[in-house]
Amino acid sequence: MGQAWGKLTKHEDLKDLAAGEMLERGAKLCPEKEAVVAGSRRVTYAELNRLVDQFAAGLKTLGFQKGDRVAICLHNSLALVLSFYALARLGIITVWVNPVYRGKELEFILSNSGARGIIVKSSKEDYDYAGAITAMKDELPALEKIIDVGHSKGTIDFASLLQKGELPREQRPAVDPHHDYLMLIYTSGATGIPKGAPSTHYQCIRAGCLYAESLDASADDIFIGFLPFCHSYAFNSILIDVIAIQATMVLLENYNVEAALQLIEKERCTIHHAAPTHYIMTLKHPQLEKYDLSSLRAGLISGYVPPEELLEQIEKTFGIYFFNFWGSSETGPGLLSPWGAPREKRYKTVGRPVEGEEIKIVDPVSGREKAPMEVGELTVRGWNVISEYWNNPAETKAHINAKGWLRTGDLAFEDAEGYVTIVGRTKDQINRGALKIVPLELEEELAKHPKIAEVSVVSTPNPVLGESICVCVIPRPGQTINLDEIRGYLQDKIARNKLPDELCLMEEFPRLSGGVKLNKYGKGGIQELAQADTAREVHWKKKKRA
């Protein structure tokens, strides 16, 4: 069983504070320090606290009460920061809605959460959220208020709520950080119905502090914030973390490489949290070398298991201290490599359990605990793990047992020092003639091929073996590659039964909402596209014909 590292000592004074109180604490400690940079707006901690108080007063006039759910459907912006901390100050639970969601995705989250309100930004050029939500009203009986930053007809103007004066202290509800929920975040639902994962104020603030300690972050740091705050990763590691340590967040509303590079150089950003996708895009940027990125010192990378070659390229190009880690909507940060962890552990594993968390690697079927270095399903228990899925007792029972152990669905193994390596998802395993194959091994080897830019391995139906191994490849610009070449490249590197049976060439990989994680198994995902591609090369058919 994994052992925890470190003690939460640097931020002990935050353990009994709610999120609204945490912001107020920052305003008292450093009122004139910049908290948020958003476009041309530069907002100090004192001003941010005042604006949050004003917006909370405005929300209170609408009749919202402690325990209500109000959705935020905004890109990273000052309006998002104000909305979140104002809701927190009132004891209202934020329901995160990815602003790229449309139609049924939006409707399900609002319905399942029972949200009484939603804060959006409608745009004729982008999407008429207010109009779309109004059209759903018959399906959303709990929804009463639409607050629009874009101020569309029939909605409540966001700016008008900032004109209600400040919220008297005696009108603030008492919030219990250890028991009251702060936010509700929904899983992507790529292979099924999304599940709401609720976390308390304490869980979120402690998670933010752990992110800070993992990189030795302080008030002197400047975080670039392009990861969407509606995801657990960015929510804890930036939106909470920055305010907890009185650092500065520089927001980018819509990510593109050029804009991010410009902001890093201009604002002298020091902390760079990203997904592998962002680094791949940045490393490919033709003007990368013209930007001064010397201010960057550290960052995290997560979203999916990146190939080691990418990590080495990042280190060589950016020269920053960073590591890959594991987390989820259900756990926040679950496995981290602490500041000073050996390079090999930071690159090849996702770290060790956080303080106060336990892990077990078990057989997915029998539940038997695995020995060190044996692959099984990662299960976790601790302060950071949710106690339930919102309004979904069936899924709660299926994934969280009576003793608090969460089944993550991730395949992993633990080494003798307690570091964990993720090798895939339980559904990733390919059953080829009764032999179980984990795609990650092939993906890591093929990522080294000079002609391959990106690779993903999935299963496709095989009439004899049950499932075939299909390698989906995005070739590097100007390169061509075939299945025989790939099999030849791998034949001395892996067992013969793991050699791919099929090759599917793609121009790009579909991703889940937000563009961070690959969509492997959902509708329109890599596996579906591969199975439908009649042009893919098939070795076993060719061999049979021969």
**Averaged pLDDT, 44-53:** 97
Give the span between the Cα atoms of 265 and 267, in whole angstroms: 6
Amino acid in the structure at residue 296? L
In a domain, 499, yes or no: yes
pLDDT, tens digit, for every residue of 401-422? 999 999 998 889 999 999 999 8
Which CA distances in Å does 127 have to 74, 117, 124, 230, 357?
12, 18, 6, 18, 42
Helices (H) and strands (E) in the chain, counts: 17, 27
Q: CA 147 to CA 115: how far, in whole Å?
A: 13
Of the ranges 201-210, 274-283, 306-315, 501-510, which one carries the lowest mean pLDDT score?
306-315
**190, pLDDT greater than 80:** no
Residue 442 in contact with residue 457, Cβ under 8 Å?
Answer: yes
The answer to whether the beta carbons of residues 107 and 135 sit under 8 Å apart is no
Structural domain of residue 472, as residue ranges?
432-545
Residue 503 forms part of a structural domain: yes
**Is pLDDT of 301 > 60?**
yes
Position 8 scores a pLDDT of 41
Beta bridge partners of 156: 147
40: in domain: no
Cβ proximity of 184 and 390 under 8 Å:
yes
In a domain, 485, yes or no: yes
Closest CA to 96 of 390, 324, 520, 385: 390
Give the SS3 label for residue 376: strand
pLDDT (average), residues 177-197? 85
Task: Indicate the pLDDT class of residue 318, thresholds 50, 70 and 90.
Answer: very high
* Nearest-angstrom CA–CA distance, 33 and 21: 17
Instruction: Please indicate, yes or no, if residue 168 is contained in any of the structural domains.
Output: no
In this prediction, residue 2 has a pLDDT band, given cuts at 50, 70 and 90, of: very low
Tell me what pLDDT residue 421 has: 92
pLDDT in tens, 135-150: 998 899 999 999 999 8
Q: Average pLDDT of 12-35?
A: 95
Q: Cα separation of 398 and 489, whole Å?
A: 42
Asked whether the beta carbons of 446 and 503 are under 8 A apart, the reply is no
For the cut 80, the answer to whether the pLDDT of residue 254 exceeds it is yes
How many distinct structural domains can be found in the chain?
Answer: 1
Q: What is residue 223's predicted lDDT score, i.e. its pLDDT?
A: 98
**Residue 164 pLDDT > 50:** yes
For tokens 């020092």, the residue is: 417
More confident residue, 13 or 495: 13
| Helix ranges, 114-256 (H) | 129-135, 201-214, 232-234, 241-245
Q: What is the dihedral of CA 105, 20, 8, 213, to 10 degrees?
A: 70
CB 439 within 8 A of CB 428: yes
Percent of the chain with pLDDT over 70: 95
CB atoms within 10 A of CB 2: 21
- CA separation, residue 222 to residues 50, 264, 269, 282 (Å): 22, 9, 5, 19
Angstrom distances, CA of residue 501 to CA of 10, 245, 462: 53, 52, 10
Query: What residues pair up with 119 in beta bridges, in sequence order?
Result: 72, 147
| 3-class state of residue 531 by DSSP | helix
Q: Report, as an integer, the average pLDDT of 500-519.
A: 84
215 with 296: CB under 8 angstroms? no
At 1, is the pLDDT very low, low, confident or very high (cuts 50, 70, 90)? Answer: very low
pLDDT digit string, tens, across residues 60-101 = 999 999 999 999 999 999 999 999 999 999 999 999 999 988
Q: Please, what is the average pLDDT of the chain? A: 91
pLDDT at 516: 64
Q: Is the pLDDT of residue 473 over 70?
A: yes
pLDDT at 9 over 70: no
How far apart CA 469 and CA 429 sit, in angstroms, is 10
Q: Is 3 a residue whose pLDDT tops 50?
A: no
Element spanning 411, H or E: strand 406-414
C-alpha radius of gyration, the chain, whole number: 24
pLDDT digits (tens, 9 = 90+) for 347-361: 889 999 998 999 999
Predicted confidence band at 514 (pLDDT cuts at 50, 70, 90)?
low
Give the tokens for residue 297: 């010192």
What is the enclosing helix (H) or strand (E) of 83? helix 78-89
Mean pLDDT calculated for residue range 212-232: 95
Q: Give the CATH number for residue 462.
A: 3.30.300.30
Find all residues with CB under 8 Å of 336, minimum gap 6, and list them: 210, 211, 214, 323, 325, 350, 351, 352, 354
Residue 509 lies in a domain: yes
Please compute the mean of the pLDDT values over residues 357-379 and round it to a whole number: 94
Q: What is the pLDDT of residue 129?
A: 86
Q: Is 336 helix (H, G, I), strand (E, B) or coil?
A: strand
Residues of the chain above pLDDT 90, percent: 70
- Per DSSP, 291 falls in state S
Is position 515 within any domain?
Answer: yes
Residue 30 lies in a domain: no
Return the minimum-mean-pLDDT range out of 110-119, 386-395, 457-466: 457-466
Question: Which single residue is written with the structure tokens 């509606």?
Answer: 230
pLDDT at 441: 82
